[in-house]
C-alpha cells in the first residue's frame, strides 16, 4: 500500500467521517438530554443549566400505559417475526433452488406486496377484522404484521439461501435426507448469518409500525409507537416523556442491530454480489 | 415448500389488496349515502384534481432528493468505513443506530430540532449571533426538513448494502492499480465506483419505493404545511380517507400509488433476477 | 351509514372461513367501555373509575388516548357500529357530522328526566342540541383567553394589557427585541389548529364564513372584513411573532411562553394551565391573564365544548347514560376541578363551590371570572356547526396558513378558501 497516512486528503476524509458521525449521533444525544430534563427547563440551552436533570419522566412513563404497550409490541412483533420465518424461509429456499422461470414473477410479487400503501390496505383490513372480531387482539395485529414481514422474509432468505452451494444440498440428499431435512440440518445452519439478519430486519419493520396499530388496536393491544402519541395532550405536550419513550423504544433493537450488523452486511452481500 | 408462504401471503396480503381495488371502484363514503355507483369515476376525478397532481409533484421531490442524499451519504460512509478508518470496526455499529429509531420518534426528534424556539441548534448559533433560517415555514424549507429527517433515518440502510457490496469487490484490483501508481481517489472513481453501480441502482430503487410511502414524518413534522406544500400523495390519500371520510377516493389514490410502485418494482425485480442469475 | 351493500358482503364472504376459528368472547354485562382523549378532565375522570364501580357495581374501562390517535380511530370505529363502545368523547365541533352519519344515539328523554339539568350551563348544553334532540352532556367548555408577560409589557410602556387587536399590534411592535417576540398564536394548518384561533381576529373585524349562518349558507369568507382580519393576523405573526411561527401548533405556542420567548399569546382557557404553573413555566410569577382583545365589530373569543355521547351501536343506552350522568355530576366535576391542575367544568354549582373558588383564586384571582366572561362573549357557532365543517375548516386553514407563510397573498388565500368552500358544499 502506498504511504498516504499523513496525506491531507486522508485528514479531509477523517473530517468528513467526523461530520457524518455528528449528524448521526447528535439527534440521539438530544433525545437523551430531553429524557432527563425537567419540564420547566426542557427547551433552554443545556449549557445554561447543565445540572437540572430529573427522573420524573421515568415515573410518568411508568404510570402511563407505555409499559403495557411495550409488552404488546414485543409480543406481536416477536410472534409475527417467528411465524414469518417459519413460513417464509422454506418459501425462500424453494425459490432459491427451484426453477428460474418462477423467480422473476415471485420477486416482483414479493416487492409489490412490500410496496402496498398502508393507507389503502388498512381500511379493507379494518372492515375484515370488524366482521371476524379481530380488532384489538394480538392475533389480529400479528396477522397484520405478517403482511409486512412475510414478503421481506421470503425475499431476504431467498437471497441468503441462494448463496449456499448446491453441492452441499446434493450431498445431504445422497445421504438419504429428505429435502426438508436437508433444509433444516444443512442449509439453515450454513446460512445462519443471513437468516439472523433477515429476522432482525423483519422484527424492526413490525416493531416500528405506527399506522396499522393506530387503526386496528384499541386499549388492550395498543403498541408502543402509538402509545408515544398519547403523551401529546391538549393541556401540554410532554416532550420529556416522549423523548424518553423514543429512547426506550430504540433500546430493545439497539444491541441487536449493533451486533447483528455484520450479519446484515453478509446477507445483503447476497443481494448485490457484483 | 413454497405452498405455506403462498397461502399465508394470499390470506394476509392479497385479500386486503383486493379490498383496496374493490373500494376504489365504489363511492363508499363514511357519511354520505351509498349510491351503488360502480366504475372508474374516482380515477377520472383524480385525473382532474389539481391537488392530486400537486401531491404527486411533492412526492417526487421528496423521493428524488431523499434518495439522492441517502445514497450519497450512505455510500460515502460505507466507503469511509472501509477505506479511511478500516480498523475502527465498532464505528459500523454506531453508524447504524439511526436505523433502529422508530419513525414516530424520528419525526418528533427532528420536529423539536427544526422548531427555532425549541431547538438547541438555534441556541448554539445564537451564541455567535447567527440566525438559523426557519425550515418548516417555507415550501422548500419544509421539503428539505423532511428530506433531512428521512436521510438521517435511512442512510444506514444504504450504508449496510454498500458495505456488503464493497466486501464483494476483490482487493486485488485495488492493489494492482496502486502498484501502477494510481492514487486512492483515482482508484475509487475508476475501479470501485463502476463495480458498485449495480448495488447503487438496486438500493436507490428500493429506497425510492419506500419513500413513496412517507407518512409519519409529514404527519408529525408539517401536517402537510406550510399551506399544502408537503401534502405528498400518500398523505393526500390519508386526508381523503380519514379527514374527508371519502374512503373510496382515498382507495383510488392508494391504487394509483400501488401501480406506480409496481412499475418501479418491475425494474428492481429485473435487476435482481439478472444479478442472481449471473 | 351502515355497510349494507356489496362491499360489506364481499368482506363477509372472504372473511367467513376464518371467522369461526377466531370468534372473540363477548363482553361481560356489568362492564362499560369509555373512550376519551387526553385533557385534564379526562385524565381526572380515569382516576375516578373505581368510584363509579363502588357506587354502581359496574366496572368502567376508561381509555384515554392522544387526540390524534382518537380522531383517526373513531370514525372507523363508528363505521363498524361495533357494540363494544358504550360512551364516547364527543367534541361539539364533530357533533353535526356524527349526527348526520347516524353515529350517535339521542339522549333527550334521559336528560329531560334529570333533577339537576338546570344546573348545567345552558350554552354548552344547548350546543349539543341538533334536530331537536340532545346528543351529549358537556363536561368542558373552554373559551378564548390571553396570557401576557407583565414585565415585558411594562418595559414597553403598557401598564394594562392591550384591549383591541390594533393595540396588540402596537404593543407587539414595541416589545419585539432580540430573543423576545411580541405575540404568538397557532398557525399550523387544520380546523383544530389555526382555525381555532384565526376566527377570533376575523370575526372581530366583521368577517364571517357564511352570508347568514345558518339560514343562508353561501360562503362569504372572501370579504374586505375578513381580509382586514387576515392582515392583522399575518402582520402579528410575521412581523412580531417568534421565528418559525408559521408551523406553530398549540404546543409550540405554549413552549414559547413557558421559556420566555414571547410576550403575549392568544389561545383557549388552557393558557392558564400552560403559563401559570411554575413546574412548567419559568416566568409563571410574571404572567397575567386578560380577555381576548376586541375589534371594530366587538369581541369573539374562541369556544370549544366537549361532552360525552352514546355511540349508535352501544348495546345498553341506559347503562351508558348512567355513566354519563355520573361523570358530569356536580360531585365528580367538583372532585376533578379540585384534583387536576386546570380542569374545566360545566355546572353552575361547581363554579360556586367554595373549595373550587379557593383553589382557583390561589392560582389566579381573576381566572374564574374571566372564563365566565369569555364564555358569555363567545358565539356558539364560532366555528360553523355543519356536518361538512371538519373538511371546510381544513381547506380554509390550509389556505390561511399558506398566506401567513407567503405562499400566496392574503387576497388569493381568501378567494381560494371561498372557492373551495363552494366546491365542498356542492359535493
The CATH number of whichever domain residue A151 belongs to comes to 1.10.3720.10
pLDDT at A273 over 50: no
Return the pLDDT at A126. Answer: 87
Chain A residues touching B269 at Cβ < 8 A = 104, 107-108, 111
Nearest alpha carbon to residue C251 among A34, B145, A233: A233
Q: How far apart are CA C359 and CA A241, in angstroms?
A: 28
Return the pLDDT at C83. Answer: 77
Between 3.60.21.10, 3.40.50.10490, 3.40.190.10, 1.10.3720.10, what CATH number should domain C29-142+303-377 receive?
Answer: 3.40.190.10
pLDDT at B173 over 80: no
Question: Residues 157-196, chain A: which have Cβ within 8 Å of B?
Answer: 159, 162, 179-180, 183
Q: Decide if C398 and B116 are in contact by the 8 Å CB cutoff.
A: no
Return the pLDDT at C16. Answer: 42
Return the pLDDT at C3. Answer: 41
- What does the mean pLDDT of chain B come to? 86
**Residue stretches of chain C with pLDDT short of 70:** 1-29, 81, 343
Report the pLDDT averaged over residues A248-274: 70
Whether residue A41 is contained in a domain is answered as: no
pLDDT at A149 over 70: yes
Q: Which of A17, A103, A124 has the CB atom closest to B276's CB atom?
A: A103
Q: How far apart are CA A195 and CA B223, in angstroms?
A: 39
Chain A positions touching chain C (beta carbons under 8 Å): 38-44, 123-124, 126-128, 130-135, 137, 139, 214-215, 218-219, 222, 226, 229-237, 239
Helix axes A253-272, B247-277, angle to 10 degrees: 60
Return the pLDDT at A269. Answer: 59
| Residue found under cell 404546543 | C251
Touching C (3+ Cβ pairs <8 A), the chains are A, B
The pTM assigned to this predicted structure is 0.87
Q: Decide if C251 and A215 are in contact by the 8 Å CB cutoff.
A: no
Whether residue A3 is contained in a domain is answered as: no
User: Helix, strand, or coil here: B198?
Assistant: helix
pLDDT at A178 over 70: yes
C-alpha distance from B234 to closest chain C C-alpha (Å): 15
Q: Decide if B11 and C18 are in contact by the 8 Å CB cutoff.
A: yes
- Where are the domains positioned within chain C? 29-142+303-377, 144-302+382-426
| Residue found under cell 369581541 | C299
Best B110, B226, B249 residue to mutate vs chain C (most C CBs within 10 Å): B226
Q: Which of B105, B124, B255 has the CB atom closest to A120's CB atom?
A: B255
User: B19-28+38-277: what fold?
Assistant: MetI-like fold (1.10.3720)
CATH architecture for segment(s) C144-302+382-426: 3-Layer(aba) Sandwich (3.40)
Whether residue A215 is contained in a domain is answered as: yes
* Other Cβ atoms closer than 10 A to B170: 10
Can C29-142+303-377 and C144-302+382-426 be said to share one CATH topology? yes
Return the pLDDT at A270. Answer: 55
Structural contact between residues C305 and C137, judged by C-beta atoms closer than 8 angstroms = no
Q: Decide if A219 and C15 are in contact by the 8 Å CB cutoff.
A: no
- Tens of pLDDT along B235-277? 999 999 888 888 899 999 999 999 998 888 887 777 766 665 5
> CA A217 → CA A138, A227, C74, C240, distances in Å?
9, 11, 11, 44
* Other Cβ atoms closer than 10 A to B248: 22
Chain B residues touching A229 at Cβ < 8 A = 104
pLDDT at A208 over 90: no
* B226 prior amide bond cis, ω within 30: yes
Q: Decide if B18 and A124 are in contact by the 8 Å CB cutoff.
A: yes
Q: Decide if B115 and C244 are in contact by the 8 Å CB cutoff.
A: yes
Tell me which residue range forms the domain holding A211: 64-272
Pairing of strands C216-219, C210-212: antiparallel
Q: Decide if A236 and C274 are in contact by the 8 Å CB cutoff.
A: yes
Question: Residues 1-30, chain C: which have Cβ within 8 Å of A?
Answer: 3, 7-8, 11-12, 14-16, 18-19, 22-24
- Tens of pLDDT along A228-244? 887 776 656 677 888 88
Question: Residues 31-70, chain B: which have Cβ within 8 Å of A?
Answer: none
Return the pLDDT at C19. Answer: 39
C-alpha distance from C120 to closest chain B C-alpha (Å): 31
Return the pLDDT at C111. Answer: 93
C-alpha distance from C101 to closest chain B C-alpha (Å): 5
Return the pLDDT at A159. Answer: 78
Cβ of residue C46 closer than 8 Å to a chain A Cβ: no
Whether residue A125 is contained in a domain is answered as: yes
Cβ of residue C416 closer than 8 Å to a chain B Cβ: no
The burial of C143, by beta-carbon neighbours within 10 Å (0-12 exposed, 13-18 middle, 19 or more buried), is given as buried
Report the pLDDT averaged over residues B25-40: 78
Q: How far apart are CA C100 and CA B32, in angstroms?
A: 9
Cell output for C321: 347514560
Cβ of residue C72 closer than 8 Å to a chain B Cβ: yes
The structural domain count of chain A equals 1
- What does the mean pLDDT of chain A come to? 83
pLDDT at A1 over 50: no
C-alpha distance from B236 to closest chain A C-alpha (Å): 10
Q: List the single range of A54-63, A112-121, C87-96 with lowest mean pLDDT.
A: A112-121
Higher local confidence (pLDDT), A171 or C133: C133
Give the DSSP letter of residue C214: T
- The conformational region for residue C143 under phi > 0 = left, psi -120 to 50 = alpha, else beta, is beta
C-alpha distance from C353 to closest chain A C-alpha (Å): 24
- Where are the domains positioned within chain B? 19-28+38-277
Amino acid at each position: 500500500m502506498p504511504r498516504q497516512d499523513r496525506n491531507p486528503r486522508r485528514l479531509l476524509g477523517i473530517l468528513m467521517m467526523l461530520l457524518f458521525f455528528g449528524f448521526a449521533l447528535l439527534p440521539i444525544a438530544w433525545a437523551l438530554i430531553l429524557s432527563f430534563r425537567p419540564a420547566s427547563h426542557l427547551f433552554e440551552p443545556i449549557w445554561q443549566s447543565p445540572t437540572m436533570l430529573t427522573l420524573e419522566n421515568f415515573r410518568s412513563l411508568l404510570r402511563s400505559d407505555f409499559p403495557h404497550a411495550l409488552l404488546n409490541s414485543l409480543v406481536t412483533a416477536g410472534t409475527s417475526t417467528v411465524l414469518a420465518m417459519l413460513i417464509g424461509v422454506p418459501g425462500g429456499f424453494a425459490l432459491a433452488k427451484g426453477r428460474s422461470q418462477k423467480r422473476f414473477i415471485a420477486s416482483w410479487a414479493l416487492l409489490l406486496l412490500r410496496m402496498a400503501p398502508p393507507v389503502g390496505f388498512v381500511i379493507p383490513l379494518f372492515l375484515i377484522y370488524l366482521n371476524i372480531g379481530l380488532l384489538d387482539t394480538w392475533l389480529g395485529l400479528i396477522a397484520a404484521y405478517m403482511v409486512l414481514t412475510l414478503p421481506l422474509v421470503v425475499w431476504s432468505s431467498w437471497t441468503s439461501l441462494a448463496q449456499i452451494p448446491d453441492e452441499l444440498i446434493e450431498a445431504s440428499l445422497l445421504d438419504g435426507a429428505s429435502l426438508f431435512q436437508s433444509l433444516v440440518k444443512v442449509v439453515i445452519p450454513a446460512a445462519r448469518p443471513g437468516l439472523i439478519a433477515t429476522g432482525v430486519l423483519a422484527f424492526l419493520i413490525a416493531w416500528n409500525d405506527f399506522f396499522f396499530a393506530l387503526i386496528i388496536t384499541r386499549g388492550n393491544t395498543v403498541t408502543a409507537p402509538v402509545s408515544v402519541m398519547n403523551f401529546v395532550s391538549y393541556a401540554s405536550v410532554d416532550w420529556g416523556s416522549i423523548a424518553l419513550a423514543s429512547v426506550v423504544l430504540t433500546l430493545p433493537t439497539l444491541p441487536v442491530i449493533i451486533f447483528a450488523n455484520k450479519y446484515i452486511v453478509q446477507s445483503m452481500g447476497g443481494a448485490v454480489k457484483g | 415448500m413454497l405452498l405455506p408462504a403462498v397461502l399465508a401471503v394470499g390470506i394476509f396480503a392479497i385479500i386486503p389488496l383486493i379490498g383496496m381495488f374493490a373500494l376504489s371502484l365504489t363511492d363508499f363514503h363514511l357519511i354520505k349515502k351509498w349510491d351503488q355507483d360502480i366504475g372508474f369515476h374516482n380515477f377520472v376525478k383524480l385525473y382532474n384534481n389539481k391537488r392530486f397532481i400537486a401531491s404527486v409533484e411533492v412526492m417526487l421531490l421528496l423521493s428524488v432528493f431523499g434518495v439522492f442524499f441517502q445514497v450519497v451519504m450512505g455510500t460515502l460512509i460505507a466507503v469511509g468505513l472501509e477505506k479511511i478508518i478500516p480498523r475502527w470496526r465498532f464505528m459500523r455499529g454506531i453508524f447504524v443506530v439511526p436505523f433502529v429509531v422508530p419513525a414516530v420518534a424520528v419525526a418528533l426528534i427532528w420536529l423539536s430540532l427544526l422548531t427555532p424556539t425549541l431547538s438547541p441548534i438555534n441556541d448554539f448559533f445564537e451564541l455567535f449571533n447567527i440566525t438559523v433560517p426557519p425550515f418548516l415555514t417555507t415550501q422548500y424549507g419544509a421539503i428539505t426538513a423532511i428530506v433531512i429527517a428521512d436521510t438521517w433515518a435511512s442512510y444506514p440502510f444504504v450504508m449496510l448494502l454498500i458495505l456488503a457490496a464493497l466486501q464483494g469487490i476483490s482487493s486485488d484490483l485495488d492493489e494492482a492499480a496502486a502498484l501502477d501508481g494510481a492514487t486512492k481517489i483515482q482508484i475509487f472513481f475508476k475501479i470501485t465506483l463502476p463495480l458498485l453501480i449495480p448495488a447503487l441502482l438496486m438500493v436507490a430503487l428500493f429506497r425510492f419505493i419506500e419513500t413513496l410511502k412517507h407518512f409519519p414524518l409529514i404527519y408529525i413534522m408539517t401536517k402537510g404545511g406550510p399551506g399544502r406544500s408537503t401534502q405528498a400523495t400518500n398523505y393526500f390519500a390519508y386526508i381523503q380517507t380519514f379527514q374527508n371520510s371519502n374512503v373510496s377516493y382515498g382507495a383510488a389514490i392508494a391504487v394509483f400509488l400501488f401501480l406506480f410502485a409496481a412499475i418501479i418494482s418491475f425494474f428492481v425485480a429485473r435487476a435482481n433476477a439478472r444479478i442472481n442469475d449471473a | 351509514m351502515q355497510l349494507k351493500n356489496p362491499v360489506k358482503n364481499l368482506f363477509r364472504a372472504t372473511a367467513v372461513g376464518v371467522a369461526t376459528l377466531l370468534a372473540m368472547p363477548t363482553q361481560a354485562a356489568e362492564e362499560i367501555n369509555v373512550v376519551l382523549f387526553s385533557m385534564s378532565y379526562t385524565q381526572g375522570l380515569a382516576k375516578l373509575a373505581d368510584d363509579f364501580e363502588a357506587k354502581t357495581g359496574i366496572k368502567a374501562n376508561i381509555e384515554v388516548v392522544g387526540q390524534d390517535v382518537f380522531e383517526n380511530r373513531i370514525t372507523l370505529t363508528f363505521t363498524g357500529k361495533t357494540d363494544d363502545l358504550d360512551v364516547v368523547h364527543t367534541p361539539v365541533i364533530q357533533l353535526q357530522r356524527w349526527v348526520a352519519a347516524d353515529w350517535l344515539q339521542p339522549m333527550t328523554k334521559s336528560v329531560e328526566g334529570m333533577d339537576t339539568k338546570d344546573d348545567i350551563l345552558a350554552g354548552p348544553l344547548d350546543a349539543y342540541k341538533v334536530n331537536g334532540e340532545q346528543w351529549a352532556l358537556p363536561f368542558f367548555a373552554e373559551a378564548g383567553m390571553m396570557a401576557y408577560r407583565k414585565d415585558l409589557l411594562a418595559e414597553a410602556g403598557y401598564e394594562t394589557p392591550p384591549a383591541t387587536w390594533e393595540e396588540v399590534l402596537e404593543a407587539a411592535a414595541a416589545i419585539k427585541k432580540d430573543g423576545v417576540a411580541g405575540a404568538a398564536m397557532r398557525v399550523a394548518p387544520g380546523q383544530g389548529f389555526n382555525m381555532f384561533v384565526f376566527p377570533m381576529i376575523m370575526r372581530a373585524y366583521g368577517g364571517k364564513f357564511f352570508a347568514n349562518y345558518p339560514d343562508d349558507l353561501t360562503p362569504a369568507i372572501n370579504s374586505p372584513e375578513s381580509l382586514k382580519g387576515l392582515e392583522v393576523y399575518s402582520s402579528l405573526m410575521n412581523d412580531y411573532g417568534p421565528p418559525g411561527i408559521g408551523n406553530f401548533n398549540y404546543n409550540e405556542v405554549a413552549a414559547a411562553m413557558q421559556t420566555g420567548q414571547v410576550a403575549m399569546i392568544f389561545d383557549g382557557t388552557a393558557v392558564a394551565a400552560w403559563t401559570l404553573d411554575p413546574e412548567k413555566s419559568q416566568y409563571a410569577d410574571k404572567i397575567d391573564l386578560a380577555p381576548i382583545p376586541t375589534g371594530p365589530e366587538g369581541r369573539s373569543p374562541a369556544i370549544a365544548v366537549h361532552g360525552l355521547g352514546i355511540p349508535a351501536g352501544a348495546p345498553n343506552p341506559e347503562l351508558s347514560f348512567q355513566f354519563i350522568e355520573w361523570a358530569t355530576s356536580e360531585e365528580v366535576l367538583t372532585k376533578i376541578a379540585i384534583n387536576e391542575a386546570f380542569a374545566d367544568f360545566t355546572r353552575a354549582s361547581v363554579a360556586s363551590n367554595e373549595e373550587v373558588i379557593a383553589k382557583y383564586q390561589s392560582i389566579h384571582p381573576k381566572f374564574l371570572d374571566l372564563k365566565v366572561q369569555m364564555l358569555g362573549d363567545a358565539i356558539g357557532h364560532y366555528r360553523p356547526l355543519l356536518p361538512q365543517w371538519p373538511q371546510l375548516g381544513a381547506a380554509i386553514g390550509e389556505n390561511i396558513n399558506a398566506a401567513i407563510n407567503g405562499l400566496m397573498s392574503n387576497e388569493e388565500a381568501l378567494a381560494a378558501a371561498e372557492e373551495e368552500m363552494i366546491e365542498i358544499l356542492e359535493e
